[in-house]
Amino acid sequence: MFSKIATPIIAIIVFLGLWELLVWANGWPNFKMASPSDLPPAFWKYRELFLEMGWQTLWRTVVGLFLAVIVGTVIGMIIGFSRIARDALYPLLIGFNAIPKATLVPVISLLFIGQHDFNTVLMAFMISFFPIAVSVGIGLSTLEPEYRDILRALGASKATIFWKIALPKTLPEFFGALKVSATLAFIGTNLVEIVSPHGRGLGALFKSGETNGDYPLMFAVLIALAFLGIVLYYAVIFLERIFAGWADREAT
């Protein structure tokens, strides 16, 4: 237990040390490349803005991710249980996911003018539902047909087969995709906050630092985003331990 906590902390300290050494060795001023030692003053100076805008970014990201889980799971169930739906939806999903999401921000902003919270949540959802849908679909489509045949012979309904066999089997793939989607959701949130600025969220704070040439503030925002991403990632791991901890025990 101690090593699981100490190892990532040591890795972060080493990373920050190498970052500080890189800036010092190249003699970069903080208006070219901020160093870790430049960040604490920036955090303290703008501490109220970090708390306010960090919360704005976090709740929009979590809402978008929650919607991605619901919609992605439903789509995954459809393509997992129906070959026709799988053949029809996969090209559409892949094509949509191949579109750079930054190009969709102006489109969404024009469609929903002034709906800043909605636009941000929508982008977080759009960029994060794909891994969930694909993982659930693959997990369900690879369910051994022998299980289905045996349970059907015993009189089990499709709903029973799903809840008793298909869903537990899919949980490891689902949580693996959710870890990826959790980080993608932050990317979607910040795309809207930066590309279509509305003065809210950490993306707006980053844009302000860029406009004013405040590099320590910009890098402090990046570190804050990384911190929120790590927190959300470990929240997913906590849920995985609760609902799919058996998979990890089997692996060990």
Q: What is the 3-state secondary structure (H, E, C) of the chain?
A: CHHHHHHHHHHHHHHHHHHHHHHHHHCCCCCCCCCHHHHHHHHHHCHHHHHHHHHHHHHHHHHHHHHHHHHHHHHHHHHHHCHHHHHHHHHHHHHHHHCCHHHHHHHHHHHCCCCHHHHHHHHHHHHHHHHHHHHHHHHHHCCCHHHHHHHHHCCCCHHHHHHHHHHHHHHHHHHHHHHHHHHHHHHHHHHHHHHCCCCCHHHHHHHHHHHCCCHHHHHHHHHHHHHHHHHHHHHHHHHHHHHHHHHHHHHC
Whole-model pTM?
0.86
Whether the per-residue pLDDT at 141 is higher than 60: the answer is yes
Output the pLDDT for position 248. Answer: 62
pLDDT range class, residue 252, cuts 50, 70, 90: very low
> What is d(CA 23, CA 32) in angstroms, rounded to the nearest whole number?
10
Counting beta carbons within 10 angstroms of the beta carbon of residue 186, is it exposed (0 to 12), middle (13 to 18) or buried (19 or more)?
buried
pLDDT at 85: 85
**Domains observed in the chain:** 46-251 (1.10.3720.10)
Lowest average pLDDT, out of 50-54, 185-189, 222-226, 239-243, goes to 239-243
Predicted pLDDT of residue 56: 93
The pLDDT of 10-14, averaged and rounded, is 90
For the stretch 60-106, pLDDT in tens is 999 999 999 999 989 988 888 788 888 888 889 899 888 888 888 88
